[in-house]
Amino acid sequence: MTRRSSIEFETESYVLRLGEGGRVVLSAKVRKRLELNPGDRLVLIVRQSGEMRLASLKRQIDKCMGMFADKSPERMILSEELIAERREDARR
């Protein structure tokens, strides 16, 4: 695996090899850098141009939640608010 760095774009790129059965292996160095653990789920994003991006599912979810954080009144987590409402209804 070869690492190439681009300060201009603040990105790192790695050359990976496609193995048997379509498996792609990330080196320990990359897994450590990205804080990935065995069993973590990843998302492969394929653009119309054919460009691909591999991302951690957890990070994608965190990113989406961050996009909508200011939409919640008092920055409350809406799922927690819903659960609290359901528990209150159940007590009645």
CB atoms < 10 A from the CB of 31, how many?
14
pLDDT of 55: 87
The answer to whether the CB of 38 falls within 8 A of the CB of 53 is no
Please tell me whether residue 28 adopts helix, strand or coil conformation. Answer: helix
pLDDT of 6: 47
Per-residue pLDDT of the chain (92 residues), as tens digits, is: 555 554 455 788 888 889 999 999 898 988 898 889 999 999 999 999 999 988 888 888 888 777 666 666 666 677 888 898 999 999 88
Considering Cα of 73, then 74, then 75, then 77, what sign does the dihedral take?
negative
pLDDT of 80: 82
**Model pTM above 0.85:** no
The amino acid that residue 48 corresponds to is Q
Closest-CA residue to 76 (of 59, 84, 91, 92): 84
